[in-house]
Structure 1
Amino acid sequence: MAALTGSADGRDGAIRVRVGSAGQVETLELDDRVHELSGPELAREILAVIRGAQSVLSAEVADQVQATVGADSEAGRAVIDSFETRFPAPDAR
């Protein structure tokens, strides 16, 4: 699971983020279209894309747990719950 990542983009690809296996930001790419945003709007957009990438990571972890130890095992459920708690789906916030 240490190799798992999550990626997301926003503003039609103007903002791209990849997070590592612990949810940390590994890459942040911004193209020139972000200049159309005010500072506060850009900050909100970047944070939303980060949360999206973390949610993708959480889903990847759940898939990996299911494929290895099983989502119904005690260890599997603990791992999945940990990621779902830290990185909930954006619509679950």
Structure 2
Amino acid sequence: MALVRFAGQLRKLVNGNVELNFTASNISECIKNLDAQFPGIKENLCDNNGELLESINVYVNGDNVRYLNGLTTTLKGEDEVDIMSAFAAG
């Protein structure tokens, strides 16, 4: 089971939970499972084409999935997934 953590304002999408455990083979399935438990979360994380919104970052074991295999990034056993808003500095 992967440990999924939510940062900041995204916690409101999962009823204030900071951490949840999910069984999923990849990030896409993880988001699908999240959406089944928390309807509407997918539309807050993904665009109409099913890709991650530019304003959302997802990390697996500290690595941004955009630089791995995107939503098809494989999840195994005790992987840690962090979902957070992207920040702009300036």
Fold shared by both chains (TM-score > 0.5): no
Structure with the bigger RCO (C-alpha within 8 Å, sep 6+) is 2
TM-score, length of structure 2 as denominator length: 0.26
1 or 2, which has the higher strand percentage? 2
1 or 2, which has the higher helix percentage? 1
TM-score, length of structure 1 as denominator length: 0.26
Greater Rg by CA: 1
